[in-house]
Amino acid sequence: MDKLNQVLLKPAIQVGADLFAWMQQGGTQGLATALDAPQTLIQRIADADLRGMGGAGFPTARKWEAAAQAAGSEKYVVCNGNEDEPGTFKDRTLLSRTPHQVIEGALIAALAIRACHVIFYLNPHQQGSLREMRRAVAQWQDSPWLEKVAKAVGQPVDLQVVPSSGRYIGGEETAVVASLEGGFPFPRKKPPFPAESGVRGCPTLINNTETLAKVSHIIRHGADWYRALGVGAASGTKLYSLSGDVMAPGLYELPMGTSLHDLIYRYGGGMLEGKAFKAVFTGGPSNTLLTRKDLDVALDFDSVRERQSRLGTGAMIVISEGSSIIRKVAEYIGFFAKGSCGQCPSCKCGTFQLARLLERVDSGRHSPADLAALRHLCQILPGSGRCGLIDGAVTVVQSSLHTFPQEYGIAATAD
């Protein structure tokens, strides 16, 4: 258990919105270091191999670089705290229990790209996050730190807490921009990427809450320290939201690259009494299912991708033998169908039809033609939406068809 909760969830730093207590725990040291040499920040983040923790795993430094290079004196840093996908409960923990590490990370990001607006975009359904972040931001506004950052950036820097729409789709990067411009969170076509043209056309750096929370620690302790926290080639730590049929579901911060087996059996207390492991829905849950043969997989972005799945947000929803995969998939597709914004008929109508077919299969009222129709939908839908929602929904259906054909009553397909 020595590897548990070393950085973000370290018990000593769970100080809430108390800035003084945060400073006593070494808080603001990262920002102080950053203020000494703002021009080196992006390189340090690159050296640490920090990745986007919202699900994509995109190298954070490249995003920062793009926003730093983009023309314009008015730039935004947005902390994406919209977290709304089933099984993910990491950002709300950071925002409500250690808001200062998130704010400090966002200020360092603002320094790196010379942004004058820092926005915390938070899901209003998570009242605790909103409350604590508002309290915490107020303390930074009264502190001399904001003035120091403004001096380094060369213009006044404002901090704002903005409630999102609370809709699932509102977490998509371009939807964040649309929402902050006062509109409905409709995703937009990319390019242009928000780093080039985001809120009101200004370069906008949008990072997940967990990503930003790590920044101050990296700057304070160095890239080498951060890299060494991970297992093997993987770097740093990761928050894993473990849920489902395990003895001790919860949020675990572990070295990036910890095996799925260790997460479930060593830290999560193993499967519920009398239950046998069957599968794991990862991330959104819009990824390929992990099964018994994947228990040894290292839970980092690259290793999970080698198994044709994705680490996603680090959510691991564990299913035991005796639970219907189709039932779970139907539930998730129902969630996506509801969350689809409606802009692209293929997404709204496609998720609806997937959900209808899955409901029929799950309740045993289906015909062989329904199964053929389900597979056919999985062929015609991918790539048809503006954002990735429909692709994720199809991935999880396709994966269940491929991995658990017997539940659908169909013959297995070759790997």
- Which one of the spans 266-274, 278-286, 374-382, 402-410 is the region binding other proteins (CB under 8 A)? 374-382
In whole angstroms, the minimum distance from the beta carbon of 171 to other proteins comes to 15
Q: At what angle do helices 99-113 and 127-141 cross, to 10 degrees?
A: 60
Q: Which of 279, 381, 387, 396 binds other proteins (CB under 8 A)?
A: 381
- Which one of the spans 111-119, 143-151, 195-203, 342-350 is the region binding other proteins (CB under 8 A)? 342-350
- Which one of the spans 98-106, 193-201, 203-211, 379-387 is the region binding other proteins (CB under 8 A)? 379-387
DSSP state of 57: -
**Closer CB to other proteins, 52 or 187, in the complex:** 187
Sheet strands (E) in 111-222: 117-122, 158-163, 204-208
- Which one of the spans 219-227, 257-265, 319-327, 334-342 is the region binding other proteins (CB under 8 A)? 334-342
Q: Any contact of residue 295 with other proteins (CB under 8 A)? A: no
Question: 3: how many CB neighbours lie within 10 A of its CB?
Answer: 16
Q: Any contact of residue 409 with other proteins (CB under 8 A)? A: no
In whole angstroms, the minimum distance from the beta carbon of 167 to other proteins comes to 9
For residue 38, say if its preceding peptide bond is cis, omega within 30 degrees of 0: no
Question: In Å, how far are 139, 183, 268 from 20, measured between CA atoms?
Answer: 9, 37, 34
Q: Determine contact, residues 245/227, Cβ cutoff 8 Å.
A: no
Residue 389 C-alpha from the chain's centroid: 14
**Closer CB to other proteins, 195 or 358, in the complex:** 358
Q: Which of 77, 264, 377, 394 binds other proteins (CB under 8 A)?
A: 377
Take residue 40 and report the two structure tokens written for it.
């080196």
Question: Under rule CB under 8 A, how many of the chain's residues touch other proteins?
Answer: 27
Report how far residue 391's alpha carbon sits from residue 384's, in angstroms, rounded to the nearest whole number.
8
Q: Which of residues 349-368 bind other proteins (CB under 8 A)?
A: 349-350, 352-353, 356
**Closer CB to other proteins, 60 or 179, in the complex:** 179
Q: Any contact of residue 57 with other proteins (CB under 8 A)? A: no
Based on its alpha-carbon atoms, the radius of gyration of the chain, rounded to whole angstroms, reads 21
**Closer CB to other proteins, 286 or 351, in the complex:** 351
**Closer CB to other proteins, 276 or 380, in the complex:** 380
Q: Any contact of residue 402 with other proteins (CB under 8 A)? A: no
Q: Any contact of residue 410 with other proteins (CB under 8 A)? A: no
CA-nearest of 231, 254, 222 to 47 is 222
CA-nearest of 252, 255, 264, 250 to 296 is 264
Q: Any contact of residue 304 with other proteins (CB under 8 A)? A: no
Q: Any contact of residue 397 with other proteins (CB under 8 A)? A: no
CA-nearest of 15, 113, 129 to 61 is 113
**Closer CB to other proteins, 184 or 265, in the complex:** 184
Q: Which of 135, 307, 375, 402 binds other proteins (CB under 8 A)?
A: 375
**Closer CB to other proteins, 50 or 358, in the complex:** 358
Q: Please name the helix (run of DSSP H) or strand (run of DSSP E) that holds residue 46, with its range, or none.
A: helix 41-47
Question: In Å, how far are 116, 278, 399 from 394, measured between CA atoms?
Answer: 40, 21, 8
Q: Determine contact, residues 137/120, Cβ cutoff 8 Å.
A: yes
Take residue 88 and report the two structure tokens written for it.
């993910």
In whole angstroms, the minimum distance from the beta carbon of 390 to other proteins comes to 9
In whole angstroms, the minimum distance from the beta carbon of 183 to other proteins comes to 7
CA-nearest of 181, 183, 31, 187 to 110 is 31
Exposure string of 211-240, with b = 16+ CB inside 10 Å and e = fewer, is: bbbbbbbbbbbebeebbebbbeebbbbbbb
Q: Any contact of residue 341 with other proteins (CB under 8 A)? A: yes
- Which one of the spans 14-22, 27-35, 309-317, 336-344 is the region binding other proteins (CB under 8 A)? 336-344
- Which one of the spans 53-61, 113-121, 320-328, 377-385 is the region binding other proteins (CB under 8 A)? 377-385
Q: Which of residues 144-203 bind other proteins (CB under 8 A)?
A: 183-184, 186
**Closer CB to other proteins, 139 or 346, in the complex:** 346
Sheet strands (E) in 168-208: 204-208
Report how far residue 233's alpha carbon sits from residue 226's, in angstroms, rounded to the nearest whole number.
12
- The footprint of other proteins (CB under 8 A) covers 183-184, 186, 340-346, 348-350, 352-353, 356, 369, 372-373, 375-377, 379-381, 383-384
